[in-house]
Amino acid sequence: MSDSATGKSAALTFDLKARCSTSKARASTLHLPHGPVELPIFMPVATQASLKGLTPDQLEETSCRLCLNNTYHLGLKPGQAVLDAIGGAHKLQGWHHNILTDSGGFQMVSLLKLAKITEEGVRFLSPHDGSPMLLTPEHSISLQNSIGSDIIMQLDDVIQTTSPDAARMREAMYRSIRWLDRCIAAHKNPTTQNLFCIIQGGLDLDMRRECSVEMAKRNTPGIAIGGLSGGEAKSDFCKVVDTCTSLLPPLKPRYVMGIGYPEDIVVAVALGADMFDCVWPTRTARFGNAITRYGVLNLKHQRYSEDFGPVDEDCSCTVCRPKDDNAGLAISRAYIHHLAAKETVGAHLLTMHNVHWMLSLMRRARQAIVEDRYPDFAKKFFEDYFGDKGAPGWAVEAMKGAGIDLAGGASP
Amino acid sequence: MATPNEATLPKEMLSFVLRHGEFSKAGLRLGQLIIKGRSPIPTPNFVGSTSRGVVPHVTQDVLSKTTRIPAVYIGLEDFIEKTPPKAPILRQPSGKLSSKLRDFIALPSDCVAILGARRVPALDCPKQNTNTAISICTSVGFQSLELDDYVKCISELQADITVGLADVVTTEAISQKRLEKSADRTHAWLRDTLTPRLDDPDSQGPLFAFVPPLEPHQQSFYLGDLADDYKKEITGLSFLSPETAASLQKDLEALPRLCLSDPSSPQNVLRAIRLGNDMITVPLVNGASESGIAMTFFFDSIPDGQDIPLGFDLLATPHATDLSPLVSGCQCYTCTKHHRAYLHHLLSAKEMLAWTLLQIHNFHHIDVFFQQIRNAIEDGTFEEKAKAFSRAYDSEMPQSLGQGPRTRGYQAKSVGGGEPKRNERAYGRLEEHARKLEEAESGIATPEAELDALDLQKQGLGEVQQ
């Protein structure tokens, strides 16, 4: 389905633009059915076909061209019949750019503690009326075909990476491979929707290696590394990403699922990953937290009640931009403090800012890769973001493995 | 045609041009409110009500790009959890020509800012007003606002229009004596608000005098005083009840009138206009949007029929796959970019964007409604159309299934205990799931392997049955 020599498949072209000469970081352009996106990329999560109060135009203004929808949520509401009648999720939400959907399996396991996984699929009780339900690989793909997302994910057998049960982990890894085969067979729209496989295997690097090789054989247009962001140690997370990317074909996008803290992304990019998603930037916005160059600020704190500066001085988002710069709003930290947790607009403004900030971080990272100065970029990021605290140990260690010495300070 | 208004002071900051003519006989007025630096506002027109400085659910960029709200009303009580001068808004850095209030709330430059002491509609406070202070409700509880502090605040904040402090009594049974006291206090407060301005009227923004709801004879006494003493200093009048507009004496006619009421229906808006109100607050727009209602009434081409609904509930099931706009032919952002099915989905999924998109539509709709009203006044068809409107449409906004956002303490208060919880519980909603988990683990409800997988799959994901 995919030509790994050129990075082309039926509904996607992966165009590798530049590589970092020190680390495994890469800059590329991914051509998708609803337009090109630049990698590395952060994808905000519009769980139920809406990004937490932002209009599609506002989301577009953050420069987002690829966002997530959750299959499980859209399967519940509005449901497959409605999606079919409307003609998919793009039409539902008035979004003319790309959408990626997950398989629905993760929500089932994380939200519904009642799920039970068998070879057929995930058995669970309906959150609506408690009746027994089954999500199979075929059903997941059928739902994602109805959603019409540009990138769809295979159903995988997700278990906590920290699970001590190695036998169960191995079973889940092999089952995920078998389910990928069922997903590929069930996928009705390979020329308009890109099915990504998901590498499983917990924190066992041998298992991850075996899975990477097996998955790569299936030659899907893109490859995801799954099962992370489940509470494992950050150093373990880095080892898994590093191990997988070393085995994966170079001309395919690599997506690390559920990763979204800025520091995690900056490290994972150095380890050769291209795509990331996380609800954290938007969820934390609703709690009054603003991401800035110098770390996360909780604007609900009293100390911001008379801070009349912008949320982040360097930020060029609609919220932070001065009025004379392309109709910026010049909204102060003090006013966000005034609104936070009281008016929905407070959440909307910080959501706009945080999404814009994440996308701008990715743009700067990409630019640094293209100009072959990613190590300096990463050093500067950690210096600013962590300040006197210094970069966390796991990041220093992982970056050292990628050839970047964070402790050494940015070169002039 | 245009009669420049003598009472306009200071002239360069605000002027009101009333167009006299045949339409003024029934109390109907057409005019234009011109405020320095803002677009002229043709009257009658509406005023959006804000909460903590925002039109609920509408960020400032969306406000300027997708709505044409000519003016918003802002209650000072939303900003003074800390007693002035400690309130953060008063420390907002601001240039000489700009307003601290506008800068703090980032209000788009084409929207007029009207500042008063209380929100509209205001919550009743348990404590009585005193001779020098009113009771207010802030997000941290009931407090007092001293007249002196109010005067300092309004001078600092420099709204486009400020409403004088009023001793408003809201209890239903109100004694004659209390009414007189209310008139006396409001009168004295107006004097004390204006006195510091006499030295330097240009440095102070336009002030609208508050006219309390009084019995007719007291009203004329109070207004007579007003006309004699302060005609030059007052740039407009403001009241809580639309009826007050009809009781004004002749020599105050040229002043613009701001009605801070809460009309429950468009019929009440029409009534307020007929009584001669120029600018009218319309909290019903926010209310409709939060309950998932799209407004659909028009003052032009009023349909034949009876009990035609004024709007419709998008959570109601027929809209689930309906790709048509909320109102056919509507030019608003919501109707041109989205469809009923999306609004239905957002409401059903309790996504905040539902309220935003409905606010965009409903504010556009009320703007069109007022435009049609002004046209009707102009061409002499207002009375006829108002009758047809009342005949054709329901007298109340429709009921809805939508729950709206969580209610905050400054938006609603307990009416004496015992009433049901206003908000759905935010935490512990998964307890039901936990109970099911327990059942599942005990083997009662877990789907067992002997259940046929194909049958199970047919049941789908557990979609909510419509």
B204 — pLDDT class (breaks 50, 70, 90): confident
Closest Cα partner for B79 from B134, B119, B49?
B119
Q: Does B88 touch chain A (CB under 8 A)?
A: yes
Residues 322-351, chain B, touching A (beta carbon < 8 A): 323, 333, 337-338, 341-342, 344-346, 348-349, 351
Catalytic residue among A157, A242, A264, A277: A277
Domains of chain B, by residue range, sit at 45-282, 292-404
Contact residues, chain B, for A325 at CB < 8 Å: none
pLDDT given for residue B8 in this prediction? 40
Nearest to A139 among B62, B91, B457 (CB): B457
Token pair 């800059």 is at which residue? Answer: A27
Distance CA B271, CA B288 (A): 20
Rounded-to-integer distance, Cα B116 and Cα B210, Å: 10
d(CA A337, CA A21): 44
> Residue B101: closest CA among chain A residues belongs to which residue?
A335
| Residue-wise burial string across A151-183, b where 16 or more C-beta atoms lie within 10 A, e elsewhere | bbbbbbbbbebeeeeeeebbebbbbbbebbebb
**Chain A nearest CA to B365, separation (Å):** 19
DSSP B460: T
Statement: residue B22 has pLDDT above 90 = no
Mean of all residue pLDDT scores within chain A: 93
Q: What share of chain B is helix, strand, coil (3-state, %, to 5)?
A: 35, 15, 50
- For A115, name the nearest residue in chain B, comparing CA atoms only: B446
Strand partners for A35: A32
pLDDT of residue A252: 97
d(C-alpha A389, C-alpha A178), whole Å: 46
More confident residue, B74 or B232: B74
Q: Can you name the residues that pair with B43 across neighbouring β-strands? A: B31
B407 touches chain A (CB under 8 A): no
Interface check for A212 against chain B (CB to CB < 8 A): the answer is no
Q: Which residue in A102, A150, A156, A274 is the catalytic one?
A: A102
Q: Are A250 and A382 spatial neighbours (Cβ–Cβ below 8 Å)?
A: no
Q: Is A52 close to B351, i.e. CB distance below 8 A? A: yes
Active site residue A277: yes
The pLDDT of residue B413: 59
DSSP state at residue A45: B
Q: Do A50 and B341 touch (CB under 8 A)?
A: no
Helix (H, G, I), strand (E, B) or coil at A323: coil
Q: Are B90 and A305 in contact, with CB atoms under 8 Å apart?
A: no
Q: What angle do CA A158, A164, A166 make, to 5 degrees?
A: 70
Considering only CA atoms, which of A221, A219, A258, A262 is closest in space to residue A241?
A258
Q: What is the mean pLDDT of residues A212-239?
A: 93
Q: Which of residues 27-56 of A touch B (CB under 8 A)?
A: 48-56
Question: What is the predicted pLDDT for the residue at B405?
Answer: 79
Question: What is the per-residue pLDDT for B231?
Answer: 78
Q: Per mean pLDDT, which range of A10-14, A53-57, B246-250 is the poorest? A: B246-250
CB < 8 Å from B in window 298-357 of A: 305-306, 308, 318, 327, 329-332, 334-335, 337-339, 342-345, 347-349, 352
Task: Determine which helix (DSSP H) or strand (DSSP E) holds A29, and give its type and residue range.
Answer: strand A26-32
Mean pLDDT of B264-286: 96
Contact A82 B321 (CB under 8 A): yes
Mean pLDDT score, A334-343: 96
Q: Which of A96-110, B20-34, B357-371, B402-416 has the lowest mean pLDDT?
A: B402-416
Indicate the pLDDT class of residue B415, thresholds 50, 70 and 90. low
Count of CA atoms in the C-beta half-sphere (13 A) of B87: 24
Helix runs in A301-373, H state only: 333-339, 344-370
Q: β-pairing, A26-32 with A35-39? A: antiparallel
How many whole angstroms from its chain centre is CA A322? Answer: 30
What's residue A108's pLDDT? 72
Tens digits of residue pLDDT in A81-104: 999 999 999 999 999 999 999 998
Please give the full DSSP string across A188-222, using - where no structure is assigned: S-TTTSEEEEEE--TT-HHHHHHHHHHHHHT--SE
Mean pLDDT of chain B, nearest integer = 85
Separation of alpha carbons B416 and A354, rounded Å: 42
Per the listing, tokens 């049901």 go with B420
Query: How many whole angstroms separate alpha carbon A267 and alpha carbon A255?
Result: 14
For chain A, what percent of residues have pLDDT higher than 70? Answer: 96
Cβ pairs bridging A and B (under 8 Å): 207
Peptide bond into B85 cis (omega under 30): yes
Residue B371 neighbours by CB under 8 Å, 6+ apart: none
Q: Is the CB of residue A230 less than 8 Å from the CB of residue A195?
A: no
What would the DSSP string read from start to end of A130-173?
--EEEE-HHHHHHHHHHHT-SEEE-------TT---HHHHHHHH
Amino acid at A101: T
pLDDT confidence of residue B443 = 45
In which element (H, E) is residue A292 found? strand A289-292
**Distances from the Cα of A372 to the Cαs of A275, A367, A376, in angstroms?**
19, 8, 9
Q: What is the DSSP letter of B54?
A: B
- Amino acid letter, A357: W
User: Closest Cα to residue B26, out of B251, B370, B274?
Assistant: B274
Give contacts of A330 with chain B, Cβ < 8 Å: 103, 106
**Cross-chain Cβ contact B461/A76 below 8 Å:** yes
Contacts of B333 in chain A (CB under 8 A): 55, 57
How far A56 CA sits from the closest chain B CA (Å)?
9
Q: Do B352 and A347 touch (CB under 8 A)?
A: yes
- Judge whether residue A260 has pLDDT over 70: yes
Contact with chain A for residue B102, Cβ under 8 A: no
Asked if A110 reaches chain B (Cβ–Cβ under 8 Å), the answer is: no
The residue of chain B nearest to residue A84, with distances taken between CA atoms, is: B321
A312 is catalytic: no
Among B65, B337, B462, the residue with its CB nearest the CB of A133 is B462
Q: Which residues of chain A does B92 touch, with a Cβ-Cβ cutoff of 8 Å?
A: 308, 332, 334
Q: How close, in Å, is residue B465 to chain A by CA atoms?
A: 9
Confidence of residue B10 (pLDDT cuts 50, 70, 90): very low
What confidence tier does B456 reach under pLDDT thresholds 50, 70, 90?
low
Q: Of A112-121, B20-29, B325-334, B444-453, which gets the smallest average pLDDT? A: B444-453
Per DSSP, chain B holds a count of helices (H) and strands (E) of 13, 16
Residue B134 CB partners (closer than 8 Å, separation 6+): B117, B118, B144, B145, B165, B166, B167, B168
CA distance A157 to A119: 9
B76, B116 Cβ separation under 8 angstroms? yes
Per-residue pLDDT band for A147 (boundaries 50, 70, 90) equals: very high
Distance from CA of A126 to the nearest CA of B (A): 5
Most confident of A128-132, B113-117, B299-303: B113-117
Q: Please provide the DSSP assignment of B182-216 as one string.
A: HHHHHHHHHHHHHGGGSS-GGGS--EEEE-----H
Min Cα separation A141/chain B (Å): 13
Rounded to a whole number of angstroms, the distance between the first and last alpha carbons of chain A is: 46
Percentage of chain B modeled with pLDDT above 90: 60
**Nearest residue in B to A334, CA atom:** B88
Chain B: closest CA distance from residue A276 (Å): 24
Cβ of B461 within 8 Å of Cβ of A112? The answer is no
Residue of A51, A154, A35 whose CA lies nearest to A98: A35
The DSSP annotation for B12-50 comes to: TTEEEEEE-SGGGTTS--EEEEEETTS--EEESEEEEE-
Contacts of B345 in chain A (CB under 8 A): 48-49, 77-78, 82, 92
Q: Which residues of B329-357 are buried (b: 16+ CB within 10 A; e: fewer)?
A: ebebbbbebbbbbbbbbbbbbebbbbbbb
Q: For A359-408, what is each residue's pLDDT tens digit? A: 999 999 999 999 999 999 999 999 999 999 999 999 999 999 999 999 86
Domains annotated for chain A, with CATH where assigned, are 16-111+142-283 (3.20.20.105), 288-397 (no CATH)
Contact yes or no for A114 and B51 at CB 8 A: no
Q: What is the DSSP string of A69-100?
A: E-HHHHHHTT-HHHHHHHTSHHHHHT--SEEE
At B23, is the pLDDT very low, low, confident or very high (cuts 50, 70, 90)? low
In the structure encoding, which two tokens stand for residue A358, read together? 């994440």
Beta bridge partners of B41: B33
Point out the residue among A57, A79, A344 whose CB comes nearest to the CB of B57: A344
Please check whether residue B447 touches A, CB under 8 A: yes
Greater pLDDT, A204 or B464: A204
Chain B nearest-CA distance from A1, in A, is 28
Judged by CB atoms closer than 8 Å, whether chains meet at A55 and B356 is answered as yes
Residue A280 tokens, joined: 């954290």
Give the C-alpha separation, B262 to A249, whole Å.
65
Q: Which residue has the higher pLDDT, B269 or B168?
A: B269
Q: What is the identity of the amino acid at B322?
A: D
Give how far Cα B371 sits from Cα of B50, B299, B300, Å: 22, 9, 10
Q: Are strands B133-138 and B141-146 parallel, antiparallel or unpaired?
A: antiparallel
The amino acid that residue A99 corresponds to is: I
Q: Please indicate whether, in this complex, the C-beta atoms of B460 and A75 are within 8 angstroms of each other.
A: yes
Residue B212 has pLDDT above 90, yes or no: no
Inspect the interface and report whether the beta carbons of B91 and A306 lie closer than 8 Å. yes
Residues B45-67: what's their mean pLDDT?
97
Question: Alpha-carbon torsion B135, B221, B8, B199, what sign?
Answer: negative
Give B 132-191 residues with CB within 8 A of chain A. Answer: 139
- The distance between the two most distant Cα atoms of chain A, rounded to a whole number of Å, is 63
Which residues have C-beta within 8 Å of that of residue A171, sequence separation ≥ 6?
A157
Q: Are B152 and B76 in contact (CB under 8 A)?
A: no
Is pLDDT at A201 greater than 50 in this prediction? yes
Q: Which CATH number fits domain B45-282: 3.90.120.10, 3.40.50.300, 3.20.20.105, 3.10.20.30?
A: 3.20.20.105
pLDDT single digits (tens) B369-412: 999 999 999 999 999 999 999 999 999 999 887 777 777 766 66
As a whole number of angstroms, the distance between CA A64 and CA A93 comes to 15
